[in-house]
Chains A and B, each alone.
Chain A
Amino acid sequence: MKDSLHFLREVEPNTYIETCGVDFEDFEVGQVFEHRPGHTFSEASCLNYARHSFDLSPGYSDQRYARRVYGDRVRVPETFVLSAMALTTRTFGKVVANLSMTDCKVKTVYAGDTLYLESEILGKRKSKSRPDQGLLHISSHALNQDGACVCSFERKLLVYRRNLGPYERAGY
């Protein structure tokens, strides 16, 4: 297993520091990462997320309306489904910034469902304008508890290159 695919680094005998994310150098095209744990969407978290979006349309704010239109189960807001991309941050923790996303498809997900993310590395290259960084092209899928794909997207993000990020200065 490559160095940055470990979660502890022994900094002196018997003393370990936790690592946060895989180094740019250790990603390879074709690798697939299964992110664990998953995320179970509760009714309360869905309604809370909808409320925090400032969205006052009745699908979430008015459950009498929502039940009549969408049925008895609370729907997970689409933006909350998409936010499952946060589950990939354990692997992509050395992110500099998220640049763009494409083909973000969302199906209906209900409270009580659990999503598991997996990500495939589609491409990687060193950044010309940012010599301490590299660009990753990633395809991610969110699978529910029955293995059905309910959300998918592609993403381009910058990650720091080995020993060139802010880690030593920040005590990481």
Chain B
Amino acid sequence: MFPGMSQHGRYWLLILPAVALMLVFYIYPLLQVLWISVTEPEPGLGNYRELFTSAFLHKIWWTTARICVITTVLTVLFGYVVAFAMAHVRQRHMTAIMFCVLLTFWLSVLVRAFAWVMLLRTEGVINEALLWIGLTDQPLRLSRNEFGVVVGMVHFMLPLAILPIYANLRGIDASYVSAARGMGASAWKAFWWVYLPLSKPGVIAATILVFVFSLGFFITPAILGGGRVVMISEFIRVAFEETLLWGKATMLSASLLFCVLLILAIVGRVVDLRRVFGST
């Protein structure tokens, strides 16, 4: 097609439109965001100083971190259980489970958040059931607080954990476990010492995916948090749209980005990220 061009050069040509698109619509605006964060309202690092001085920012960073960690731990735990089941049941059952997992994946995040509101609200199904059984004598506050946010987020994130873990578990040769068992390990020991370490790449991939996604979460906290659970992304929205303090908004966006890069860098020192994300 392009004589004289090396094999490699032609492959690059194929992704050129995508690269150009990314440069114009992603990299350039991103740089602009970074630029605003050090130029508005005045040039310098004044916006970033607020990260250290503003008690309110400390609080919402802490809220964000807390919710993200709890969400990630629960999601990976539950995701592992589901993925484990999927990897070990018969094909027909696996297909059914996979269908259910993907079904929730495809549902709009808004629909899911509102569905949880209906279930968790004071006069919702769960509270009515608890009252009827007599477990509580007054309705519990299940939504419009951090509990509700975590429930909604874990539900949203589950497919993101299940899929990479499942892909990893599928690749584990069952004969390792058989060998361990054959040499006298109990089922639990075989799992703990043999199977679990082998599934580490899947668990790490799921953890990174879920945590990074959680950091920027926006809709679910807004709906299930009832306005009281303010995470960093909500604060960015207000700074962009309502108070028009763009310097602050972009500084926080940039900080989120640095956070993600930092996490990847730290994780990258411990494990081989290329292996985790399956490029080798």
The judgment on whether A and B are partners is: no
List the interface of chain A (C-beta within 8 A of B): none
Interface, chain B (partner A; CB < 8 A): none
